[in-house]
Amino acid sequence: MTALVTGGGGFLGATLVRALVARGERVIVLGRGRYPAFANQPLVSCVQADLRDAPAVARAFAGVRTCYHVAAKAGYWGDPAEFHAINVDGTAHVIAACRAAGTERLVYTSSPSVVIGARDIRGGDERLPYPRRYLATYPATKAIAERMVLAANGTDGLLTCALRPHLIWGPGDNHLLPRLLARARAGQLVGVGNRRNHVDVIHVDNAARAHLLAAERLERGSPVSGSTYFINQERPVALWPFIDALLAQAHLGPVRRYIGHRTAYTLGWALERAHVALRRSGEPRMTRFLAHQLGAEHWFSSKRARAELGYHPNTSIEHGLEQLRADLARSSL
């Protein structure tokens, strides 16, 4: 069997590639960079291509039976055209490549943010509707892409599903944790809210395993076909105490300064307008989307994933923190 992982050089993608190799599967890693970590892996081949380049994407799919579409442009600020080109157009190119190559299964890495508007969510499930308005371009484009993937289910022999992991963490994080540690060391990390807001998190190993389970159960006539799933840890966490626990693994103290959720939201609105009006480069220190992510409640039920995928988190929060401590001790973070 040959699997293709878009974004296979990233945090979740690389973990998924290693899990596939451990099962003896051949893997094609499709990404924009070069990945020396896979250079000497006999079961891994790397294809350097941009999701926006439809012909290059199509060429990578020869002989692929299962595609894990992990790659995306993430973030709370940026050029809307770039978000759309990568997240929407890039997904369209992946779907077209799957159809042309006769790929049987497509597992899409979505995000819970596709159903998050401006309200708290406590224990929501897959019946939640897409909101009318989004606070950022990222969730808006991920929602469009998710709908495209689900609409492609059953066409040209292709079966599809979408997973919604939230706040992926663990050893090897090259996105969230380095920024968090950098701000903490610079004395610039400010908490949002009252420290009591709960959110979902998921260890990277659990997220990768959920993708494998989804592919295994993605068969014609299965409830997985054309479905979405929230996947998470064994319980939601109080976000800021959890961030304090992450900082502690790097021997850093807890967050001391806080601003209110509503204050942060208003500040984000003002900074967004200033960035657009003044045509500033870079990211605002705060946006409405970021304020809501950091200060609101958003956690979900994984009952459907447990029943239909057989998913449960093998790596606990406590064990994951131990892994992270050891990884940080070996690295330069």
In angstroms, the Cα distances linking 215 to 66, 105, 218, 260, 329 are 7, 7, 5, 42, 35
At CA 258, angle to CA 333 and CA 112, rounded to 5?
70
Write the DSSP string, 262-301: HHHHHHHHHHHHHHHHHT--S--S--HHHHHHHHS-EEE-
- Does residue 271 contact residue 286 with C-beta atoms inside 8 Å? yes
d(CA 65, CA 209): 18
DSSP 8-state symbol, 37: G
Reduced to 3 states (helix: H, G, I; strand: E, B; else coil), residue 254 is: coil
- Neighbouring CB atoms inside 10 A of 325's CB total 15
Element (H, E) at 74: none
d(CA 272, CA 277): 9
For 187, list phi and psi in degrees, rounded to 5.
70, 25
- Does residue 125 contact residue 303 with C-beta atoms inside 8 Å? yes
Which residues have a catalytic role annotated? 138
Pairing of strands 44-48, 26-31: parallel
Name which of 12, 133, 30 is nearest 74 in CA terms.
12
Pairing of strands 66-69, 2-6: parallel
In sequence order, what are the residues at sequence separation of 6 or more whose Cβ sits closer than 8 angstroms to the Cβ of residue 182? Answer: none
In angstroms, the Cα distances linking 199 to 18, 120, 162, 168 are 28, 10, 20, 12
